[in-house]
Amino acid sequence: MFLISVSYESIGSGVTFTNTVTNITQGSEASTSLEGRPGDIIEYNIDLFNGTDDAISNIQLVSAVPPFTALATVINCNNSDLPSTLSCDVRTPDGVNRVGYQGTIKWQLAGKLGAGHQAKVRYQVIIK
């Protein structure tokens, strides 16, 4: 398993996130775990929900390409579901953001995520 971390500025608690995975090749339903074979394309979705009474800001989501996989598509903010109040910058500190990348992925979300709103980022990998 790999680690996903979320950091943000807010007073109080109520911010939740969920991580689901889908085997695109096999057409599986989104789940918290799945089975796959070499060559399968897997999509990871990270959903962040602001359940507080206030907007949150300075959001950073951090994940990584899991072991025995490589990035199947370039990660960009266009393949995310973000409200118009957020802008996005994707960073891959362990190399170039391109097909085959292996390493850490960071989404820096600038702006504010309003109370009761959701943001989602996603990326796809291929099983080696």
- The predicted-structure confidence for 38-72, as pLDDT tens digits, reads as follows 999 999 999 999 998 889 888 889 999 999 999 99
Could you report the per-residue pLDDT of 63-102, keeping only the tens digit for each? 999 999 999 999 998 878 899 999 999 999 999 999 999 9
Q: Three-state DSSP class for 77?
A: helix
DSSP 78: G
Residue (of 91, 75, 81) closest to 124 by Cα position: 75
Residue whose tokens read 């979300």: 109
Q: Rounded to whole angstroms, how far apart are CA atoms 12 and 75?
A: 31
- What's the rounded mean pLDDT across residues 14-43? 93
- What's the rounded mean pLDDT across residues 18-40? 94
